[in-house]
Amino acid sequence: MSSEEKLLVEILKKEEVLLNQIKSTLSEYEKAIISKDLTLLSNLLDNLYLAVEEFETVEEQRNQLFERIKSQQNLPSELTFYSYALEREEVMKSLFEVVKQMNEISLLTSRLKDILDFNLNYIETLISALVPSEKPTYDQRANISKNPAKGNFEFQG
């Protein structure tokens, strides 16, 4: 294995560690949503943001290294990282672990979306039950009056 390939494997392992950290934070985030711990949610969002930012930096390093490898080895410019990794066992193993972590994160984010959608629907249901969508109108005597033509009542006190 060339030194560039070893460096690619190291970078992929860093990505795997960061993705595992992101996955762990998302799991904690799910628990915080369920327990409605807003302080913890805020802290976890900060941690998540930092981890994603760090992952993007490492990902950019990997992309730059891959472009340099393609240039040095006169590989076709349209060669994808996956195609390159298919021919290199250690790189492929590391890439597989990164993809596996990403798939797990995808499932977690989908579950989080479902939880958040449920909570949002619950809150909307409560609001609609507590605050009527149709406001009553008042007649000249300041009495509540609804239009009887719509099947509503007319109240005059």
| Of 13, 26, 15, nearest in space to 107 by CA | 26
**Which pLDDT does position 61 carry in this prediction?**
96
Q: Which helix (H) or strand (E) holds 138?
A: strand 137-138
**Which pLDDT does position 145 carry in this prediction?**
59
| Of 101, 87, 79, 76, nearest in space to 12 by CA | 101
Q: Which helix (H) or strand (E) holds 145?
A: strand 144-145
Walking along the chain (157 residues) 10 residues at a time, the average pLDDT comes out as 90 97 95 91 94 96 94 92 93 96 96 92 85 64 58 50
SS3 of 137, please?
strand
Phi, psi dihedral angles at 154 (to 5 degrees):
-125, 125
pTM score, whole prediction: 0.75
Tokens of 56: 């993007």
What are the CA-CA distances from residue 121 to residues 22, 67, 115, 129, 134 (Å)? Answer: 27, 47, 10, 12, 20
* 29-68 per-position pLDDT tens digit: 999 998 989 999 999 999 999 999 999 999 999 999 999 9
CA dist., res. 29 & res. 38, Å (int)? 10
**Which pLDDT does position 151 carry in this prediction?**
46
